Amino acid sequence: MNGRMMHDLQGNLSFLPYGKKGQFINSISRAGLNGILLTAAEGSGVNFFFNHKCVDADIDGTSLIFEEQGTAAVKKVSADAVIGADGSWSAVRAALQHTDRFTYSQTFIDHGYKEFHIPPGSNIEKNAFTFGHAKVL
Ligand SMILES: Cc1cc2nc3c(=O)[nH]c(=O)nc-3n(C[C@H](O)[C@H](O)[C@H](O)COP(=O)(O)OP(=O)(O)OC[C@H]3O[C@@H](n4cnc5c(N)ncnc54)[C@H](O)[C@@H]3O)c2cc1C
């Protein structure tokens, strides 16, 4: 990707390069990368439990409590160590907030985003990230 292509409300295009002429960043499919990583982890013996939602954590007991989605099943899983990587609404972090002197703050940006799927062959610059402004109706 050589830069960003901005599409304004009037349909005008403006190009913002990422670097000097000839310079570029490499862009790959996030879903494709996730697939490669999952396959590699599986090959190394990692077990995956999809559709299991972590709902609580027992910090002292290094246990996590999961709900299996679509069923009423609740499971408690213990381990020597737990790494919580469950994102912005982390259940693990919520449980940590009940421990002594744990502090946390969260702020939100004042704009939103919407993803579109634009098939190849459209009138879109293929070596640029596409950005657009949109009116919220
Ligand atoms: C539109 C958009 C564009 C972005 N662009 C960039 C960028 O260009 N560069 C950049 O550096 N960052 C970018 N970011 C930010 C980046 O995606 C995040 O900072 C990063 O993904 C956070 O990683 P994470 O592992 O903490 O959480 P996540 O990537 O959100 O991963 C959390 C995972 O936990 C799972 N999960 C959530 N809750 C539970 C639960 N209760 N039980 C079990 N699993 C659960 C989720 O399904 C998810 O798989 C962007 C974010 C957005 C939304």
Please state, in angstroms and rounded to a whole number, the distance separating the CA atoms of residues 112 and 39. 33
d(CA 71, ligand 1 centre) in Å: 25
pTM for this predicted structure: 0.80
Q: What is the pLDDT of residues 31-74, one digit of tens each?
A: 999 999 999 999 999 999 999 999 999 999 999 999 999 998 99
Co-location of 22 and 58 in the same domain: no
- Is residue 7 over pLDDT 80? yes
Range of the domain at 1: 1-29+115-137
Q: Does 1 share its domain with 16? A: yes
Residue with CA closest to ligand 1 atom 26: 87
Question: Measured between alpha carbons, how far is residue 24 from residues 6, 13, 41 in Å?
Answer: 17, 19, 30
List ligand 1's pocket residues with C-beta within 6 A: 53-54, 85-87, 89, 91, 113
Domain assignment present for 109:
yes
